[in-house]
Structure 1
Amino acid sequence: MRLKNLGLVLGFLGFWLLYGVSFCIAYDVHHYSFILKETNFTRLCEEKTILTVNGMFPGPTIRVRKGDRAFVNVHNHADYGVTIHWHGVKQPRNPWSDGPENITQCPIKPGKNFTYEVIFSDEEGTLWWHAHSNWTRATVHGAIIIYPDVGVTPNYTYNAEEVIILGDWYKENLTTLVNAAAAVGIDPNVSDSYTINGQPGYPNNCSTETTYALPVQEGNTYLLRIVNAVMNTEMFFGIAKHNLTVVGQDGAYTSKFDTSYIMITPGQTMDVLLTANQSPADNYYMAASSFAASDAPYDETNTSALVVYNNSPSSILYPQLPLPNNTNAAISFTSQIKNSESVNLQEGFDERIIITVSANQLPCDLDKCDGPQGNKLSTSLNNVSYVSTSIDILQAYTRGLLGTYEELPHNPPFPGTNWTNIERDDPEYIFPSQGTKVLTIDYGKSIEIVYQGTSIGNPENHPLHLHGYSFYVVGTASGNFTEEAYKENLNLDNPPKVNTVGVPKSGWIAIRFVANNPGVWFMHCHFERHVTLGMATVLIVRNGTTEETSLLPPPVGLPECS
């Protein structure tokens, strides 16, 4: 038996008939039980109650092999509805279990349960799961480890592995913070600290004794599976005196390269090798700090954990990370990430979609607004701020409920605009329209999406995540997107394959994928404050012409909408 999770793993054999030849497809089936419940934790000298899975913060790790399936029965013992998303898992033909609230399902109501069928396909490496309703993912999240198939090994070796989850901690009740901010049209207060594996660590108050520790043995190599579960901040991460070797990102392998730090956006995962090759007389801090090259408020604290060579070290060394506004350091790191193999993408594609990504404002319709010029904050894609619906988009689509949504323009408004040279508060651009708008695409089409950052409002990097797909990053540059800049920066040979990508501040990034996964798939910024304000849309990929290229039927027990 390959793996055992909560006592039950079933081997499954299936047979496909293709051109008269039978193929035996074997995968393991794993069963997990997630109990959503309130649990007391003490951090930063104060106790508070947070929502957890199985009383853990972070939550349990799911372990599978490539191509396996997991059935996760989520029991909601909270006082409000919750959903769970399997971030980076493509879920072939199965958006029913993808999880975003009011996109592919309505929330699991208090006292109810729902079993997600998580279908793994070509993913390999580290992904993660998290709540996908309101801001509950702050404490409801955990790692997913996808090992290679039996007998297959990656092009690197290691002695042991460790999950490293970057998160954050709010002293106040997060729902209260979010609601208070929404009442006056502004962003919620920033977190009070970041965390590594649930602990703020040195130098945060009341945190030195509880700092997370990774024991190492001199000469051994450790695979660190790093997840950025932080709510609203891109992060620098490094370990004092040690280089890291990047080997994977977002459930796919990368070409190997050495670096003294990484930059990782919310939603991304990164696999790095750490070799314990420093003096065993000392111990060393791993640390994470903000990359926040904008005027938006951010948590200015650092979080740390210990790399322990010695129980009685002569000294403990702290890493020197790039400053929070060091855009060059972020670009220097991300520009090194390439695919582990040559994929040789074709130059042509069926459709190019260009999407502007902006921070905006809306006229105040509240009793009082504390945003710029007395307005309330908003965000948009192609100048449309997404409005959620009371029924999920997947059910509206499959049931043909006309009027639930409209088509999002496949190009920005105002043709010919230099989107990186607009005054921040220009009234022609600052106010978006509002609506429930989607991108509809035919099955099998090759698609290129160009995300264009703008100088509207408060320009900054935006981590864009597309559910149901991994995609190739084929080009990026600063400034306004042009064909000339595109050709100069195009990489069709070894583009990295990811599911979450950082749209550069006042720059652009181009991605490619084939629309071969029918269904309804959320596309949104992974800054929680931005998706809350409308930086989102939905990708609808129509069914193909066969049963194998069409949506699976809905599962039994899908949560009811009300």
Structure 2
Amino acid sequence: MGSSSWIRLLGVVLLVVGCQFAEKAQGMIRHYKFNVVMKETKRLCWSKPIVTVNGQFPGPTIYAREDDTLLVKVVNHVSYNLSIHWHGVRQLRTCWSDGPAYITQCPIQPSRVYTYNFTLAGQRGTLLWHAHILWLRSTVHGALIILPKLGVPYPFPSPHREKVVLLAEWWKSDVEAVINEAIRSGLPPNVSDSHLINGHPGPVPSCPERGSTLKVKPGKAYMLRIINAALNDELFFKIACHKMMVVEVDATYVKPFTTDTILVAPGQTTTVLINTTDGTSGNYVMAVSPFMDSPVSVDNSTATAVLHYIGTPSNATTVPVETPPLDATSVATNFSNSLRSLNSRKHPTKVPMQVDHSLLFTIGIGVNPCKTCTGGARIVADINNVTFVMPKVSLLDAHYHNITGVFTDDFPAHPLTKFNYTGTSPLNTQTERGTRLYRLAYNSTVQVILQDTSMIAPETHPIHLHGSNFYVVGSGVGNFDEGEDEKGFNMVDPVERNTIGVPTGGWAAIRFRADNPGVWFMHCHLEVHTTWGLKMAFVVDDGDGPGETLLPPPFNLPAC
């Protein structure tokens, strides 16, 4: 009797990394349980209780394969409302499981349970999951690894082993207290006290905190799945005396290229291959340092871990690595400009050649009056001069059930006020407020020019789009020039992503097809900017054919 017959006959349940498997026609059904609990955790010589999943920090890694279905039961044992976002998962027709609180669901209230149910249709690669409410993402996050279908090889040499490298930030004080004080005062929040690699900062001044260790064998190829789960910092990553071959970003394959430094913005992932030297021993520093090329305060600490060759003597020294300067714009730009989609027969590039909606979204910081704030003003953020106001009920629920008064679908396609976006900041830095969405017909094509502005201060912005990947067809510095800059668009092999870093004082052009019905959030993945209102949403209407409509809400969807 064949193995598949045994499975059908016996209903075998395989246990792999804590995940239960069951058969399904297009893939496996994989069950996970997330118990959200408080746990006392020590980092940087400072002990504090933090919100965790299953008591782990970072959270557990989810493993699945392309076209598998995930059922993740989330049980909320803490006093905070909670929701989980599966960052980069397209959620085809399952917008109810996307996760951003008050956008696609009401949050899971304390002592309540919700099961996310979605299929990883046509996706494979490195993604992440994280809390999508308040600032809980700082500790509630983990890796989501989607392996290719069984028997399908990588489009690059198979590694000896795969390792997850999770980057994050750490505050000595309670993170929710940090942002609550900032909201009360109207001023920027305190920056983090350290960066982390797999939950540890490595040795820092006045604190001999032990860093994480990545053990490798000489003469082998290793895949590093690098994920930036930090709240507010774009990060450089380097390994002493080792080059990295970039093979994938945001769960999409790219044309391989070699570099000694990668840049990963919050919400982005980068998968690299490294080759360990045959016949070599030693310890080599892996370093994470911030990137910021504008006069904005960031955590300027460097986190370190060790790449340890198995067999290295215990008294061996650790080889250091030189990190890029904080404002290493050329290093960041060179990395971003090297990214190209694979565009092969098996992995074609499907960038829309014509667009139905051509949008210009200015992004920046403003100041609005506030009677109770320090100095009588509050820092806000906006897209097209609109500071987004979070609703009291889920936007998706309002859309699906035609509930009026929750949002309008008149989000401006262009800035409400035109000015020299990257020149001298205008005297009026106030913004409008509203819960305004932009409506798209099913299967329509969209181009968005994301334009940074000099309002208060220019700054790089990692913009994340839910529900769709997009192609980055161009980017540049200064104000976007429709007549000239479009001539240089890459329509052959532009990189495909779900999160794009808009250059400081510059612009990025993205294109996507609205073939996924529902309400889809787009926001800056710097959590401070999201809190200030740098966010909006697209509402994509149902299509006419089979498989073109949003599925009904699940019976156990949380209520507000």
Q: TM-score, normalised by structure 1?
A: 0.94
Q: Distance in 2 between matches of 1:542 and 1:7?
A: 35
The offset of 1:5, in angstroms, is 5.4
Summarize deviations over 1:177-231 as a string: whole Å, max 9, x none: 11111111012101110100001112354344x2100111111111000000011
Residues 41 and 47 in structure 2, CA contact (< 8 A), matched pair in contact too = yes
- Answer yes or no: is 1:514 the counterpart of 2:516: no
Map of 2:174 onto structure 1: 173
Shift of the 183–243 alpha-carbon distance from structure 1 to 2, 3 Å rule, reads: same
Amino acid paired to 1:408:
F
Map of 2:189 onto structure 1: 188
Map of 2:3 onto structure 1: none
The offset of 1:413, in angstroms, is 1.9
Amino acid paired to 2:406:
T
Secondary structure of the equivalent of 1:427?
A: coil
Shift of the 186–440 alpha-carbon distance from structure 1 to 2, 3 Å rule, reads: same
Summarize deviations over 1:64-96 as a string: whole Å, max 9, x none: 111111100000000121000000000101110
Stretch of structure 1 that moved more, 186-195 or 398-407: 398-407
Instruction: Name the count of aligned residue pairs.
Output: 540
Give the one of 404, 412, 415 matched to 1:412. 415
Map of 2:74 onto structure 1: 74
The offset of 1:486, in angstroms, is 2.1
Residues 204 and 303 in structure 1, CA contact (< 8 A), matched pair in contact too = no
The offset of 1:311, in angstroms, is 4.2
Map of 2:339 onto structure 1: 337
Summarize deviations over 1:257-304 as a string: whole Å, max 9, x none: 000010110000110011112873421010100001122211011001
Map of 1:8 onto structure 2: 20
Map of 1:353 onto structure 2: 359
Map of 1:397 onto structure 2: 399
Residues 162 and 222 in structure 1, CA contact (< 8 A), matched pair in contact too = yes
Residues 254 and 496 in structure 1, CA contact (< 8 A), matched pair in contact too = yes
Q: Distance in 2 between matches of 1:87 and 1:539?
A: 17
Secondary structure of the equivalent of 2:374?
A: coil
Stretch of structure 1 that moved more, 138-147 or 479-488: 479-488
Map of 1:369 onto structure 2: 374
The offset of 1:154, in angstroms, is 1.1
Residues 86 and 129 in structure 1, CA contact (< 8 A), matched pair in contact too = yes
Amino acid paired to 1:45:
C
Secondary structure of the equivalent of 1:323?
A: coil
- Answer yes or no: is 1:476 the counterpart of 2:482: no
Residues 76 and 109 in structure 2, CA contact (< 8 A), matched pair in contact too = yes
Residues 471 and 511 in structure 1, CA contact (< 8 A), matched pair in contact too = yes
Structure 1 residues 16-31: aligned runs within 5 Å: 26-31=26-31
Unaligned runs of at least 5 residues, structure 1: 14-25
The offset of 1:546, in angstroms, is 2.8
Shift of the 421–4 alpha-carbon distance from structure 1 to 2, 3 Å rule, reads: same
Q: Distance in 2 between matches of 1:219 and 1:205?
A: 37
Amino acid paired to 1:359:
I
Q: Distance in 2 between matches of 1:203 and 1:258?
A: 30
Structure 1 residues 86-485: aligned runs within 5 Å: 86-156=86-156, 157-203=158-204, 205-208=206-209, 210-277=210-277, 280-309=280-309, 310-341=312-343, 343=349, 345-366=351-372, 368-370=373-375, 374-406=376-408, 407-415=410-418, 417-423=419-425, 426-428=426-428, 430-485=429-484
Secondary structure of the equivalent of 2:423?
A: coil
Shift of the 303–481 alpha-carbon distance from structure 1 to 2, 3 Å rule, reads: same
Secondary structure of the equivalent of 2:128?
A: strand
Amino acid paired to 1:553:
P
Shift of the 319–180 alpha-carbon distance from structure 1 to 2, 3 Å rule, reads: same
Residues 422 and 458 in structure 2, CA contact (< 8 A), matched pair in contact too = no
Q: Distance in 2 between matches of 1:5 and 1:321?
A: 35
Residues 283 and 313 in structure 1, CA contact (< 8 A), matched pair in contact too = no
- Answer yes or no: is 1:503 the counterpart of 2:477: no
Shift of the 163–205 alpha-carbon distance from structure 1 to 2, 3 Å rule, reads: farther
Amino acid paired to 2:269:
T
Q: Distance in 2 between matches of 1:288 and 1:278?
A: 26
Unaligned runs of at least 5 residues, structure 2: 1-6, 8-13
Map of 1:17 onto structure 2: none
Q: Distance in 1 between matches of 2:192 and 2:287?
A: 17
Residues 3 and 64 in structure 1, CA contact (< 8 A), matched pair in contact too = no
Secondary structure of the equivalent of 1:96?
A: helix
Q: Distance in 2 between matches of 1:36 and 1:285?
A: 33
Amino acid paired to 1:12:
K
Residues 295 and 458 in structure 1, CA contact (< 8 A), matched pair in contact too = yes
Amino acid paired to 1:324:
L
Secondary structure of the equivalent of 2:237?
A: strand
Shift of the 27–364 alpha-carbon distance from structure 1 to 2, 3 Å rule, reads: same
The offset of 1:389, in angstroms, is 0.9
Summarize deviations over 1:26-65 as a string: whole Å, max 9, x none: 2101000000000011111121000000000000011011
Q: Distance in 2 between matches of 1:383 and 1:333?
A: 31
The offset of 1:337, in angstroms, is 0.5
Amino acid paired to 1:10:
A
Q: Distance in 1 between matches of 2:99 and 2:17?
A: 22
State the identity as a percent: 39
Map of 2:550 onto structure 1: 551
Residues 344 and 492 in structure 1, CA contact (< 8 A), matched pair in contact too = no
Stretch of structure 1 that moved more, 544-553 or 191-200: 544-553
Shift of the 205–254 alpha-carbon distance from structure 1 to 2, 3 Å rule, reads: farther
Shift of the 268–382 alpha-carbon distance from structure 1 to 2, 3 Å rule, reads: same
Secondary structure of the equivalent of 1:182?
A: helix
Shift of the 7–322 alpha-carbon distance from structure 1 to 2, 3 Å rule, reads: closer
Summarize deviations over 1:101-150 as a string: whole Å, max 9, x none: 11011110110110001321122110000000100010000001111111
Summarize deviations over 1:497-543 as a string: whole Å, max 9, x none: 10000011111111111110000111100000000000000111000
Q: Distance in 1 between matches of 2:222 and 2:38?
A: 34
Shift of the 205–340 alpha-carbon distance from structure 1 to 2, 3 Å rule, reads: farther
Map of 1:21 onto structure 2: none
The offset of 1:401, in angstroms, is 1.4
Q: Distance in 1 between matches of 2:323 and 2:87?
A: 28
- Show structure 1 runs of 4+ deviating over 4 A: none
Amino acid paired to 1:458:
A
The offset of 1:547, in angstroms, is 4.1
